[in-house]
Every structure is written in C-alpha cells, then in structure tokens.
Structure 1
Amino acid sequence: MGYILNQKYFSIKYSFYSYEDITFGNLDNPNLFARIGDKITGTFHVLGYSYGVPVFSLEGIKNVLIVLVVIIFIYCCCNIIKNCKDYSSIQLNAVIFVISSILFNLFIFILTDNFVARYFVPVIIWIIIVFAAYLNRKAELLWEKIVKLGIGVVLAFYMFIACMHTVQWVETIKANDHRMEAIAFLKGNNYSFGYSTYWNGNIVTALTNEEVELANILSPETMDYYMWNTNKEYYVEGYHSRKCFIILTSDEVEQYAECPVILGGNIVY
C-alpha cells in the first residue's frame, strides 16, 4: 500500500526520493565500519539525542534516558526471545516483525547512500510494541517485578522529559515568528505565489496551508529550480499568471546584493 501511494500518487505530484532513486553506495567512502556507526548513531538522533549540551540540563538528562531506552529495548528483545513460550503468537509475530524491520532497514541504509536519520522514524516507532509485549508478561519472581517496574519508570520518565523538552523548545525558540510577519504582509497584499530558497520556501508554504505558494530556487543568483519536496506544478510554465515575488533572508540579500534579481527588483517589504 505504501509503495502504491508513493509511486502512483505522491511521486507524480511532488518531487522527492522514490524507490527508483535508491542506489548502492561505495563501501570504501566512508569505510564500512564508519557507515555502520553512522547508521546506529542515527537511531539515537531519531529518539532525540542532542550533542554539545550540558550533562546537567534537561537535554542532558534526556540523552541519558535515550541510552537507557536503547539498552532496555535490547534487553526486552532478548528476554522475549528467551522466554518465547510465555508470549502469544500475535505478540511474538509482532516483536519479530519489529526486530526484522530494524535489522533490514539498517542493512539497506548501510549499503545505500540515501540515509537520513529521520528515515528511521517509521521503523523506530514500532519499538513500542516490544516494550508493551514485555511489560504485559506476568512476572513471577520478585526481581522480575522490580525490573519491570524500573523499565516502566524509565520509559515514562523519558516520554515526560522528551515532551517537556519539545514544549520548552517551542515556547522559547519561536522559530517562525519572523516568518509570520512576512506572511501577514504577503496575504494582506494579495501575493500568493513566489520564489525562495529551500528552507524558507517549504516552511512558508506549509505555514500558510498553501495560501502562499513558494517554488524553491538554489540561489537568487542563478534562479535555478530546486524542486525537492515541492509541488511539481509550481515549475510548470503558466502555472501562475498574477504578480509574484521573491522572498529572501537579510543574509541572502547581503550575499547576493549584486545579482540582477535584487538589483532590478522592487523592495516591497
């Protein structure tokens, strides 16, 4: 189903990697062990690991919990396999599916050049099944009950800290405040289509629910299209016939101050 949706619908409308774009990489560059390490550390980043943060901080505590979660996951997998007779066939099949999916995706990502840490998200999210299966098993011995209680506490604390960190980041960073002012101006002056570099283009399009559509360009100097993750229709001649604009950051304006687009354009905001 995922393949059909990806290949037969989304890839027709949007530009992104499809299954045909996956290629085997050169295992010597970087070397095989570096590739393996890179993919394994990618799982930590998916879970929220942050580097360069103080140990005694919210992010630092979260990092410690992430390491514990990975250790707990490995322990739960080993325990379930060892005591497979204590689990139902549905639970075992689900756990085998999760483990197989993680190993298969690791194998593919190691051999190919198409890896980004977030690609692990659809697989890693299924580790919840492993935790649920383990915690659902009735513990007979006292030490087993203590271990289960400890695992439950760690997982709950990790989820709480991760949520708190996300809330803290959203409330303090306010990453899109400066964009919202520009968006209000564009809407108020009936600008609905324009051009921008990637990290502004897609974000503004998403924030406005496509009321303001931005086609991506590599730079204002060349105005070459960068179609990644955008609607292919934006780049079709005649798609938009009304007034359009180019939106740039102050750094981009300074960097490309001498290019024709900036020299010949009218500054409206």
Structure 2
Amino acid sequence: MSLPRDIRAFLSHYHGQTDDRQASVNLLFYQNRLRCKPDDLLISEIHQRYATVIHWRKDYNQLEYNHGYIQWLFPIRENGMNFEAQALQPHEAVAMKEDSDVIERVKASYGLLLDFYGMCLLNFETGLIGRSEGYKARYRNLLQAPHNNLRVTRILKCLSEMGLEHLNAGFLLYVLNEQSEHKQLNTSLLRDSMDRWWANCLRNEADREWIGLTIKKARNGEIFSREKYEASLQRRKELGSFAEPQLESIDA
C-alpha cells in the first residue's frame, strides 16, 4: 500500500520546504502572547474554559462544528482550512519543544481532544489512554463525523513535531485494542484512516514498523488485548523499544 503524499512529506521532515523566520504566530499563541483567529482567544482562555460551566471541554458542539481552532491547537507544517492560521515553521517547533510551559499547554490541548473523542490520558510518560465517562456517545460521534479522522492525523503530526511521539503510539495502540478486543471504533472508514494515515504519523522507524506489524496481526484476527497494550507501552518506556527482549541462547 503506497503512502499518501502528505504522509510522505511528513516522514521526510518536509524536505525542500523553507523556514520563514518572520512567521511565529504559533509560537506566540502557545506562549500565551497572541490570540487565535477567528475566535480571538488566548490559549490560557481556551484552557481556562475547561474548568468552568461554559468551558469547551464539555461543549462538544463547539468542538465539533467550530473548524477554526484545530490549526491553532495543533499546528503542523501544512496549511489547513483556516486561512487566519499559519503553517508551523521549523524554528517555531524548535522553540516550542524547548519551552516547558508550551509543552504543558500542548498536553492540555491533547487532553481536550481526547475527551471529545471519548478518551482520557492516564499516563503521560507512557501515553496510556483509557475510556472517558460517557465514551459511548463520543465514540458514536467519532464514527458518524469522519472529518475528525483528518483532525486526528493533524494531532498526531503535531505531537511528533513537539517531541511527543510516544503519545502517538499510546493513541494508536489504544484504538487497536478497542477494535480488536471490544469491537469498538471498528468501521472500515476509521480503519482506513488508521492504517494509511495515523499509523504512519511516527518518524521513529522502529516504532512505526512494530505498530504496523501489530495492526496487521490484529486485522488478521490476533487479539491485541488491554494487557498487551499496557505491557507494550511500559516496555517502550523502560527499554526504549516496543520489541520484546530476545532470550539469550543456552549455548551462548
């Protein structure tokens, strides 16, 4: 299966693209120094709304039908539908990865969208995800509104740009467990997005190959259980690899 053009560009680190050093709106937004457009909100104001009665965290209609915020919360090296946003520039990505406050805000943005999709981050260090309260309705929306598949691709690309690619693995393997063990999130359209786009939003080649093989096994009927999911993330955290350690030969 050939990779989509945008995935090939992503994996090549957008070879040939230049860095516009004068363009820094994503960095300024995540530093809480610039308001997003057209919503005219600082990122702290977006995140503050999560903790109030009118917050976006449970305003699922806002998150579903407002198409302007996603490019601001998850900037990538590609343009989108909001022409008031800007594609992420390489110098911005470097500065954002080095700013702990920015990374905490990226983490909060990820948590916001996970909740929208019926999930919650249980362990930031491993990327472990669980079901959120009311997940059934959120899963149903995800399956009925396939434009969210494109949003997930953007989210995963952004997390990779921010040096948080372990979260991509946690998300992918969570969805695989739901599909394999529980028959959730298992439509042909979502599987196609996952197999062709999401699973390739990892620049770590070893991780990408292991996850791709694990998905293939699950598609062929092998159960990817919750136990396997948790063990694989813990193994990667401790050993730096998804691959299981090979036992030494007795004759060695």
Superposition TM-score, scaled by structure 1 size = 0.22
**Per residue, is there more helix in 1 or in 2?**
1
Give 1 or 2 for the bigger CA radius of gyration: 1
- Greater RCO between the two (CA within 8 Å, min separation 6)? 1
Superposition TM-score, scaled by structure 2 size = 0.23
